[in-house]
Amino acid sequence: MGIEPTRIPSPENLRADAEAIIASPAPTTFILAWCIDGEVIGHSSLKDIIPGAFGTMHLHMWRTDLRGQGYGSRLFCLSVVDFYERFNLKRII
């Protein structure tokens, strides 16, 4: 799994997007960075957030050497719990 390097936004665009999310009084996107020993290894994001209702989750494990070792599934579960509690999400089946 990877990404075409030419599709990665510039650092300035990423920073501007992050600053807009942080400044928003009711963010529609929230990002959790996953760290091991102080190093970011991936992230979970919740998008299209409607507090008290739902959101759409997306995740990436950036460190390829840590894939397949169980980190992703554990961090996914921890992220789900955090998102449900933080935004009072409801279970949708």
Q: What percent of the chain has pLDDT over 90?
A: 23
What pTM value is reported for the model?
0.67
Structural contact between residues 91 and 80, judged by C-beta atoms closer than 8 angstroms: no
Cβ contacts of 80 within 8 Å, gap of 6 or more: 57
pLDDT at 93 over 60: no
Burial of residue 34 (CB within 10 Å: 0-12, 13-18, 19+) is buried
Residue boundaries of the structural domains of the chain: 26-87
The 10s digit of each residue's pLDDT in 3-62 is 677 877 788 988 888 788 777 777 788 889 998 898 888 899 999 898 899 899 988 888
pLDDT the model gives residue 6? 81
Encode 28-82 in three state secondary structure.
Answer: CEEEEEEEECCEEEEEEEEEEEECCCEEEEEEEECCHHHCCCCHHHHHHHHHHHH
pLDDT the model gives residue 1? 45
